[in-house]
Amino acid sequence: MINQERLAQDFNVMRGITAPGEGINRLAFTDSDWEGRAYLMRQMEAAGLTLRTDAFGNVLGRLAGKDNSLPAVMCGSHSDSVPRGGNYDGLAGVLAALETVRSMREDGFQPDHPIEVVLFMCEESSRFSAATLGSRAMRGELSSEDLQHLHDKEGKTLFSVLKERGLDPENIAGAKYTQPLKAMLELHIEQGKVLEHEGIPVGIVTGIAAPARFYCDIHGAADHSGATPMPLRHDALCAAAEIILAVERAAGAQADPPVVGTVGVVDVTPGVMNVIPGDVSLGVDLRSIDANAREQVEQTVRSEIEAITRARGLRYEIRPVSKESPARMAPALVDLIAAEAEKAGIPYRRMPSGAGHDSMHWADYAPTGMIFIPCRDGISHNPAEYASIEQIVTGVQLYSAVMRRLAVRGEDIS
């Protein structure tokens, strides 16, 4: 039986584990993130899980099954946050997996298949400009070169940060997960308004959109703002403004299947009022559940960048950050989740995920499924992010029922 008070206590403890500032600040591999990780590891051990960590710091807690030769069922999420974020994004999925294992033990339920509860590291892109890095490491999609290339705003490479945490970046290839899996299941807040708007307590994810991200560095000339006539200027920020609007136009023109485009980073140099901006760096994020549609929008944006900078006599560079593949959830697992929701009398809707998640990296490895719960006003990555404990419990009850189905020998979801 899912214990609401215990779940609420875990959320409350984790809410207090944050760096100073408004909201939740558990940026990947910082002290607050590491403290939260340590708390969750203690709870996993107390639940009877046998823990191991990999070269990237991902934590795997194993619950033995009646037959440990059977493929495991994986479940979990992440606990790092964006700056000034909320306490539910990712954490709800970690605590759902933990509470599911606790309830199994308390109810005397012993799974046929072993269960792997995973705490993925560095899911958010806020620090190193690339998302789901822990999952990528476990899938063998993160190289030594990536660790040296990715860095934070202070210039610290991901490699050096891992070393500071006593991890083993030299052996990043050893983080690759190679054991067979029966299924992967993740619970997450929706990070959108659909469920709340429709009054539906659960969403069953059918597919996950994936981002293509790159930086566009625009090079003009930093001249005196008073002494340089308008026709003689090479203003990088004016070009950047045109490019930002071009991203909006290109994404907005692609309606079916939809693509969304965001310029979330604008770094201006020298960044003073009396100097014409000489250099601007833009961070561009394009997403869709359809890789072809996203690629068409990206090519349109790149053509616009070329035309805008040429017309203004500027130079530019494109620095790719990541290009991930959209993921399709396993239809049989989607149907199984729906069947369990109907059995429990829980209304649901099938829906895509516009946000990326750790689960997207596992869909080509094992049947993968996701359960969404509503979040108030659809707000996420914000101090106002909130999901009621009652909504969380409903989601975890369904999640637990699905996990028990998956843990039984002979349940076919291939």
Can you give the residue ranges of every domain in the chain? 4-208+326-406, 210-323
The residue among 63, 85, 84 whose CA lies nearest residue 75 is: 63
SS3 35: helix
Distance CA 304, CA 300 (A): 6
* Cα angle: 307, vertex 309, 312; to 5 degrees: 105
Burial status of residue 212 (CB atoms within 10 A of its CB: 0-12, 13-18, 19 or more): buried
Quickly tell me which residue has 């409350």 as its tokens: 12
Average pLDDT per 10 consecutive residues for the chain, totaling 414 residues: 97 97 97 98 98 98 97 98 97 98 97 98 94 96 96 96 97 97 98 96 94 96 97 98 98 94 97 98 94 96 98 97 89 98 98 92 97 97 97 98 96 80
Query: What pLDDT, on a 0 to 100 scale, did the predictor assign at position 410?
Result: 87
Phi, psi of 109, rounded to the nearest 5 degrees: -85, 120
Query: What pLDDT, on a 0 to 100 scale, did the predictor assign at position 322?
Result: 83
4-208+326-406 topology per CATH:
Aminopeptidase (3.40.630)
Given the DSSP bridges, would you call strands 50-53 and 59-63 parallel, antiparallel or unpaired? antiparallel
Distance CA 186, CA 406 (A): 13
CATH of domain 210-323: 3.30.70.360
Given the DSSP bridges, would you call strands 72-78 and 181-189 parallel, antiparallel or unpaired? parallel
Distance CA 252, CA 249 (A): 5
Burial status of residue 246 (CB atoms within 10 A of its CB: 0-12, 13-18, 19 or more): buried
Distance CA 254, CA 295 (A): 11
Query: What pLDDT, on a 0 to 100 scale, did the predictor assign at position 211?
Result: 87
Quickly tell me which residue has 């996993």 as its tokens: 44
Output helix, strand, coil percentages for the chain, rounded to the nearest 5: 40, 25, 40
- What are the structure tokens assigned to 384, written together? 């106002």
